[in-house]
Amino acid sequence: MSPLNAPTLKLYATALSGHCHRVALLLRMLNLPYETVDAPASVRQSAEYLQLNPLGQIPVLVDAKQVLTDSNAIMVYLVKRYAAGSHWLPEEAVPAAQVQAWLSKAAGEVRYGPASCRMVMQFGTDEPLAFAQTLSARLLTLMEQHLSEHHYLATDKPTIADLACYSYVAVAPEGGVSLDSYPAIGRWVSRIQALPGFFAMPALPIPAKV
Ligand SMILES: N[C@@H](CCC(=O)N[C@@H](CS)C(=O)NCC(=O)O)C(=O)O
């Protein structure tokens, strides 16, 4: 089905969630029209919302009668449904595995590293900050080394792996994690920001150095 004939996609999200931002970036980069439904904690805890996602998390994507949860799974769905065969999610064994490896890092090291630092520093979330800072340093060192030899994370073109990692890595300074000593990551961030359809999350203040 072409995007023009598709029913309106509905994205339950909040503006400051990197998990939601990665999905919204893909929607815009695929030029898919969608409607955003604001889903703060009060909405996420409602019985109606818990039917969509029993974990009470955002994002949720509703496509006609199909309900999808988990940001990375939603991105896989969107490419397979609306942009199959595109550079966003290659079919071949090795590049597909490379995309999956970075999606796993997005759900692991990115979530519990820079995203966790930002949640603690900006929203006072009760998560172990020292652990998140150590994990951030390990992740960023790995990404720096990889991106000093590659333009994108998984293949030589942007994939959903780049979007999955971008949203929280780009705003790492909002969690007190500086990107100053990672020039290759900085160039990758600029590369993603130059892609058609890109939009930024609203900026939060950079915490003072301790
Ligand atoms: N694995 C999920 C994680 C999503 C997630 O953690 N969302 C946060 C907002 S950024 C959330 O809904 N938190 C509320 C909660 O867990 O109760 C995904 O990738 O979508």
Q: Where are the domains of the chain?
A: 3-82, 93-193
CA 135 to ligand 1 centroid distance, Å:
19
| Atom 18 of ligand 1, nearest CA residue | 70
Beta strands at 66-69 and 9-13: parallel, antiparallel or unpaired: unpaired
What's the average model confidence in pLDDT over 128-147?
98
What pLDDT sits at residue 110?
A: 99
* Six-digit token string for 157: 């073109």
CA 5 to ligand 1 centroid distance, Å:
30
Beta bridge partners of 35: 10
**From the CB of residue 41, how many other CB atoms can be counted at a distance below 10 Å?**
9
- What is the overall mean pLDDT for the chain? 96
Domains 3-82 and 93-193 share a fold: no
Band of pLDDT at residue 63, cut at 50, 70 and 90: very high
* Six-digit token string for 64: 């006609």
- Nearest-atom index, ligand 1, CA of 58: 12
What pLDDT sits at residue 210?
A: 55
CA 47 to ligand 1 centroid distance, Å:
17
Is 19 near ligand 1, meaning CB less than 6 Å away?
yes
**Spatial distance between the Cα atoms of 41 and 43, rounded to a whole number of angstroms:** 5
CA 207 to ligand 1 centroid distance, Å:
23
What's the average model confidence in pLDDT over 156-182?
98
What pLDDT sits at residue 30?
A: 98
97 has a pLDDT exceeding 70:
yes
3 has a pLDDT exceeding 60:
no
Backbone phi and psi for residue 179, each to the nearest 5 degrees, phi listed first: -105, 5
CATH classification of 93-193, choosing from 2.40.50.180, 1.20.1050.10, 3.30.930.10, 3.60.21.10? 1.20.1050.10
Is 58 near ligand 1, meaning CB less than 6 Å away?
yes
Which residues have C-beta within 8 Å of that of residue 22, sequence separation ≥ 6?
A: 71, 75, 106, 163, 164, 166, 167
CA 59 to ligand 1 centroid distance, Å:
7
* Six-digit token string for 206: 């950079």
* Six-digit token string for 143: 């990404």
The dotted CATH code for 3-82 is 3.40.30.10
* Six-digit token string for 37: 């439904």
CA 186 to ligand 1 centroid distance, Å:
26
- Nearest-atom index, ligand 1, CA of 41: 14
What's the average model confidence in pLDDT over 176-185?
98
**From the CB of residue 87, how many other CB atoms can be counted at a distance below 10 Å?**
16
Counting residues of the chain whose pLDDT is more than 90, the rounded percentage is 95
Please indicate whether residue 8 or residue 187 has the higher confidence score (pLDDT).
187
Task: Please choose from 14, 16, 19, 104 the residue to mutate so as to test ligand 1's pocket, defined by most ligand atoms within 8 A of CB.
Answer: 19
**Spatial distance between the Cα atoms of 210 and 206, rounded to a whole number of angstroms:** 12
What pLDDT sits at residue 7?
A: 60
Is 167 near ligand 1, meaning CB less than 6 Å away?
no
Which residues have C-beta within 8 Å of that of residue 126, sequence separation ≥ 6?
A: 120
Beta bridge partners of 60: 12, 69
